[in-house]
């Protein structure tokens, strides 16, 4: 049964893959030497061009135009108005004093979120990686358990926690069982914010744990043997050997985590919808709301906000590249 | 037994479990509970009937109240055990409930009506899985369509991704041609352009190409993954060029060398990319939400999101739908756990 299926699949594969044979052979005969490579790279490059490079150019054009029409030719040129309205604030620490108060709520929420989430995630994924690096029975299982949520759809993640946190949910049942009052977790500004931090850590820490674990396992065992010959206390071994040698991985985790945290959207959008009020509205949600979900689709404003976000991400990426070069030396693989 | 004891207490060669081992197991145990518990809770809840779902405090396993057919009554009546009063210990069936008093009958003697205060009785429950939460999805909702949309997009996008990325990787690893290095650097640079910052222009491009409200609008923008090209190129660099030369001697065309020799040899890397691609496409949310406006074109995550807005009272269907969405990913992970974790650890991508 299975082998029949495999045979048919093989036939189908050969049939399909044989189709470009004649044109490619013709091209091979007629193209000057060294041009054939372009035929192989071409399709991939074309899609990059249309859906990645061209959009960046258009992004700048949109950011300089106003109105609500999607077609660029129908959009009036407004220069830097989108940027200046986004950045117009009497007091940058008070979103209410800004022209685009939602944008500044999003900025401050995102800043708080990023600091808290990245710091906590680093602590937890490092702890987990250190524990998993010990001689533990069932290590494969535990590693898989911590990693599993990474693969879940963000929408599924959000619904899982929405179900746990709802008014009659299992968490409140535990509270009531312990003699406490049930709490509307997602209706209070502070608790909703806290839960978005928690849920995003829950969903992503397995990925970072895996990177750190790989980093730990790459530390040569003989260094530890030498340390144990010298009867070095565990804490000093950790500070003087493990941590310095793990630093490259920690840096990768830190910057990757930062880049992803700045772009948080999916889980939070389904879990809280940005609420209550705008307590959990983060930057990407502001962009989405401005450009796509409101009645008046302000594409120019959304594009301008995207470019500001892109600027932040660019800086973070440069920091990452610099850091990687600094720690890895010339060991380019 | 002794060997089992040794196995359980095996630590860093010191022979006994010290407190750090206990702390480790405690941490891992609690962590596992926190990671898997909510998912299991969701799965168990998805088998509860609507009345079981509003139970507070909730029961661990899905249950339903036992009902019995009682003579003279057309429908089966719910059974209660009486806890206090004259009839304590008896099992009675409820006829009707008015305020705090219930009118009940003994199923064995259905002629006499008995009045019982509702605080003096408890429901008799039995385990019962409400599978109709799942079967109703197909009957009452357009669930099959969402499932099909997700499967179609995931499969087609993965096939195209594998084909285009491997072609590009082949040229970038096995050919020397003018412009190879700039092309490779350009592809690497796109790694740093997250899709979130080009949402607006991509929507315009999709609209101009007629790809909005169309599964191809989700497929095309994401198939040329820089991660995939990079992963495959690094792998193909390790394949010896002699193989290609030998095939050229036999007068094989370059296209034939690509799909008859290089592709089969790159299976491990292709498998990793295939797994990634399936996960990415199956779980993708923001871009599909932007580009797919009509309900019939929704993928599973989009359908879930719109249902959770509409069906706040129909958690039973929402939970079942969530479970159906997470099952394929879970099965793939269970089967290919090692490949996935190793692939991620080595490529550093998600």
pLDDT in tens, chain A (333 residues): 778 888 998 888 888 888 888 888 888 888 877 788 888 999 999 998 899 889 988 888 888 888 888 888 878 888 888 888 888 887 777 777 777 888 888 989 999 999 999 999 999 999 999 999 888 888 889 999 999 999 899 999 999 999 999 888 889 888 888 888 888 888 899 999 999 999 999 999 999 999 899 889 888 888 888 888 888 888 888 888 888 888 888 888 888 888 889 889 999 999 998 878 889 999 999 999 888 887 788 888 888 999 998 888 888 878 777 766 654 433 333
CB distance A193 to A279 below 8 Å: yes
Tokens 């809840």, located at residue: B45
Q: How far apart are CA B37 and CA A160, in angstroms?
A: 10
CB distance B325 to B39 below 8 Å: no
The total number of residues shown for chain A amounts to 333
CB distance A294 to A122 below 8 Å: no
Alpha carbon of B8 to those of A135, A136, B11, B57: distances in Å?
11, 9, 9, 37
Which pairs count as long-range contacts for A97-101, CB under 8 Å and 24+ apart, including other chains?
A100/A301
CB contact under 8 A, B165 and A170: no
CB contact under 8 A, A56 and B38: no
Return the pLDDT at A326: 53
CB contact under 8 A, A58 and B201: yes
Of B209, B227, B215, give the one whose Cα is nearest residue B284.
Answer: B215
Of A54, A28, A55, A53, give the one whose Cα is nearest residue A39.
Answer: A28
Query: What are the pLDDT digits (tens) for B267-283?
Result: 888 988 898 899 889 99
Chain A residues touching B220 at Cβ < 8 A: 47, 51
C-alpha angle A33/A39/A43, rounded to 5°? 160
Of B173, B189, B211, B172, give the one whose Cα is nearest residue B290.
Answer: B211
Classify the C-alpha dihedral B93-B96-B99-B102 as positive or negative: negative
Chain B residues touching A333 at Cβ < 8 A: 234
Chain B residues touching A21 at Cβ < 8 A: 253, 255-256
Return the residue of B nearest to A273 by Cα. Answer: B309
Q: Is A324 exposed, middle or buried (0-12, 13-18, 19+ CB in 10 A)?
A: middle
Helix count and strand count (H, E) for chain A: 16, 0
CB contact under 8 A, A37 and B180: yes
C-alpha angle B73/B79/B85, rounded to 5°? 110
Chain B residues touching A56 at Cβ < 8 A: 193, 198, 201
Which helix or strand (DSSP H or E) is residue A128 part of?
A: helix A101-132
Return the pLDDT at A332: 33
CB distance A196 to A272 below 8 Å: yes
- Render the burial of A167-201: b for 16+ CB within 10 Å, e for the rest: eebbbbbeeeeeeeeeeebbeeeebbbebbbbbbb
Return the residue of A nearest to B202 by Cα. Answer: A55
Q: Is A222 exposed, middle or buried (0-12, 13-18, 19+ CB in 10 A)?
A: exposed
ipTM of the complex: 0.84
CB contact under 8 A, B54 and A168: yes
CB distance B37 to B43 below 8 Å: no
Return the pLDDT at B78: 86
Q: How far apart are CA B300 and CA B146, in angstroms?
A: 5
Of B192, B194, B285, the CB nearest to A266: B285
Return the residue of B nearest to A58 by Cα. Answer: B201
| Nearest CA-CA distance, residue B1 and chain A, Å | 17
pTM of the model: 0.84
Of B7, B168, B301, the CB nearest to A44: B168
Q: Are strands B67-68 and B91-98 parallel, antiparallel or unpaired?
A: unpaired
CB distance A184 to A167 below 8 Å: yes
CA–centroid distance for B88 within its chain: 48
CB contact under 8 A, A154 and B175: no
Alpha helices by DSSP H, listed for B175-251, are 180-190, 199-208, 215-222, 226-237, 241-249
Return the pLDDT at B297: 92
Chain B residues touching A256 at Cβ < 8 A: 348
Consecutive sets of 10 residues in chain B, 350 residues long: mean pLDDT of each? 46 62 91 94 89 79 83 84 81 83 82 82 82 83 89 95 95 87 84 81 91 93 89 89 88 88 90 88 92 90 86 78 90 84 66
CB contact under 8 A, A37 and B12: no
Of B97, B134, B141, give the one whose Cα is nearest residue B118.
Answer: B97
Residues 6+ apart with CB under 8 A from A188: A276
Return the residue of A nearest to B32 by Cα. Answer: A145
Q: How far apart are CA B322 and CA A160, in angstroms?
A: 8
């Amino acid at each position: 049964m299975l082998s029949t299926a495999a045979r048919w699949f093989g036939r189908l594969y050969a049939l399909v893959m044989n189709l470009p044979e004649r044109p490619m052979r013709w091209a091979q005969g007629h193209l000057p030497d060294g041009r054939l490579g372009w035929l192989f790279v071409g399709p991939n490059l074309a899609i990059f061009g249309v859906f990645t490079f061209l959009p960046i150019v258009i992004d700048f054009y949109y950011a300089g135009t106003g109105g609500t029409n999607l077609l660029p030719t129908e959009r009036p040129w407004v220069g830097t108005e989108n940027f200046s309205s986004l950045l117009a604030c009497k007091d940058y620490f008070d979103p209410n004093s800004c022209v685009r108060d939602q944008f500044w709520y999003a900025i401050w929420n995102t800043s708080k979120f990023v600091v808290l989430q990245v710091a906590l995630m680093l602590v937890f994924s490092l702890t987990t990686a250190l524990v998993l690096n010990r001689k533990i029975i069932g290590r494969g299982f535990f590693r898989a358990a911590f990693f599993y949520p990474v693969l879940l759809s963000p929408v599924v993640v959000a619904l899982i926690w929405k179900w746990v946190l709802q008014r009659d949910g299992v968490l409140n049942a535990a509270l009531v069982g312990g003699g406490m009052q049930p709490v509307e977790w997602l209706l209070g500004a502070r608790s909703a914010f806290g839960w978005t931090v928690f849920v995003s850590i829950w969903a992503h820490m397995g990925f970072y744990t895996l990177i750190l674990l790989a980093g730990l396992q790459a530390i040569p065992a003989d260094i530890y043997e030498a340390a144990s010959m010298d009867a070095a206390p565990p804490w000093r071994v950790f500070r003087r050997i493990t941590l310095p040698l793990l630093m490259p991985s920690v840096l990768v985790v830190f910057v990757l985590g930062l880049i992803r945290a700045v772009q948080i959207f999916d889980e939070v959008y389904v879990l809280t919808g940005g609420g209550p009020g705008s307590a959990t509205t983060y930057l990407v949600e502001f962009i989405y709301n401005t450009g796509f979900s409101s009645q008046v689709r302000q594409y120019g404003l959304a594009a301008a906000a995207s470019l500001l976000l892109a600027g932040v991400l660019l800086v973070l990426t440069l920091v990452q590249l610099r850091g990687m070069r600094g720690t890895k030396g010339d060991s380019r693989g | 037994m002794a060997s089992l004891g040794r196995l359980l207490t095996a630590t860093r060669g010191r022979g006994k479990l010290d407190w750090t081992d206990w702390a480790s197991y405690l941490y891992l145990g609690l962590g596992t509970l926190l990671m898997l518990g909510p998912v299991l809770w969701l799965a168990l809840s998805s088998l509860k009937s609507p009345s079981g779902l509003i139970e507070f405090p909730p029961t661990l396993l899905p249950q339903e109240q036992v009902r019995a057919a009682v003579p003279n009554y057309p429908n089966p009546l719910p059974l209660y055990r009486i806890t206090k009063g004259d009839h304590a210990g008896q099992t009675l069936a409820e006829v009707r409930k008015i305020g705090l008093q219930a009118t009940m009958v003994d199923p064995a003697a259905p002629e006499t009506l008995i009045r019982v205060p509702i605080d003096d009785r408890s429901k008799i429950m039995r385990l019962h899985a409400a599978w109709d939460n799942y079967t109703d999805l197909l009957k009452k909702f357009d669930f099959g369509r969402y499932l099909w949309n997700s499967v179609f997009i995931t499969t087609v996008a993965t096939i195209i991704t594998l084909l285009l990325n491997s072609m590009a990787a082949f040229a970038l690893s096995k050919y020397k041609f003018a412009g190879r290095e700039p092309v490779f650097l350009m592809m690497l640079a796109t790694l740093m352009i997250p899709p979130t910052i080009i949402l607006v222009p991509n929507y315009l491009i999709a609209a101009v190409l007629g790809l909005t409200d169309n599964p191809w609008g989700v497929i095309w923008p994401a198939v040329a993954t820089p991660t995939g090209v990079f992963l495959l190129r690094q792998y193909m660099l390790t394949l010896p060029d002699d193989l290609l030369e030998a095939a050229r001697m036999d007068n094989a065309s370059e296209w034939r060398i690509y799909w008859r020799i290089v592709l089969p040899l790159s299976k491990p890397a292709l498998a990793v990319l295939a797994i990634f691609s399936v996960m990415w496409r199956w779980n993708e949310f923001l871009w599909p939400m932007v580009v797919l406006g009509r309900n019939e074109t929704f993928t599973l995550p989009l359908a879930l999101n719109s249902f959770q807005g509409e069906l706040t009272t129909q958690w039973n269907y929402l939970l079942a739908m969530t479970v159906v969405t997470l099952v394929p990913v879970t099965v793939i992970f269970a089967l290919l756990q090692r490949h996935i974790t190793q692939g991620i650890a080595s490529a550093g991508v998600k």
